[in-house]
Amino acid sequence: MRFGNLMFDPMFRYANRDDGKTLHFTPVESAALSVLTAHAGQIVPRQRLLDATPRGEVDALARSVDLLVNRLRTKLGDSARTPRFIATSYGEGYSWIAAPAPDPGDDVSVAVGPAAGPDALRAEPRVRVFLMDLADALRARLPTERGLRLLPQAAAQDAAAPFRVEVGLRQDPAGVHCAVALRAAAGGAALYAERWTIAPGDEAGAARTAAAAFAAAIKGEIWRSLASAGGLAGPTDEPSALRRHGAAAGGASPGPAGAGPGRRCGGA
Q: Does the pLDDT value for residue 254 go beyond 80?
A: no
What pTM was estimated for this model as a whole? 0.49
In this structure, the answer to whether residues 83 and 179 fall within a common structural domain is: no
How far is CA 120 from each of CA 116, 125, 127, 170, 211, rounded to the nearest angstrom? 11, 10, 10, 10, 21
Q: Does the pLDDT value for residue 33 go beyond 90?
A: yes
Q: Does the pLDDT value for residue 252 go beyond 90?
A: no
CATH number, position 191: 3.40.50
In this predicted model, what pLDDT tens digit does every residue of 71-120 receive, in sequence order? 999 999 998 889 999 999 988 899 999 887 755 444 457 777 767 888 88
pLDDT for position 163: 82
Whole-angstrom Cα distance, residue 128 to residue 265?
17
26-35, 77-86, 251-260: the lowest-pLDDT one: 251-260
State which residues form the domain around 23.
Answer: 2-96
In this structure, the answer to whether residues 27 and 134 fall within a common structural domain is: no
Which residues have C-beta within 8 Å of that of residue 9, sequence separation ≥ 6? 15
In this structure, the answer to whether residues 116 and 240 fall within a common structural domain is: yes
Among positive and negative, which fits the CA dihedral 74, 76, 82, 87? negative
In this structure, the answer to whether residues 146 and 70 fall within a common structural domain is: no
In a domain, 7, yes or no: yes
In a domain, 255, yes or no: no
User: What is the domain count for the chain?
Assistant: 2
CATH number, position 17: 1.10.10.10
pLDDT for position 243: 43
In this structure, the answer to whether residues 158 and 224 fall within a common structural domain is: yes
- The helix, strand and coil proportions of the chain, stated in percent and rounded to the nearest 5, come to 35, 25, 45
Q: Does the pLDDT value for residue 17 go beyond 80?
A: yes
pLDDT for position 78: 92
Quickly state the pLDDT bin for 24 (edges 50, 70, 90): very high
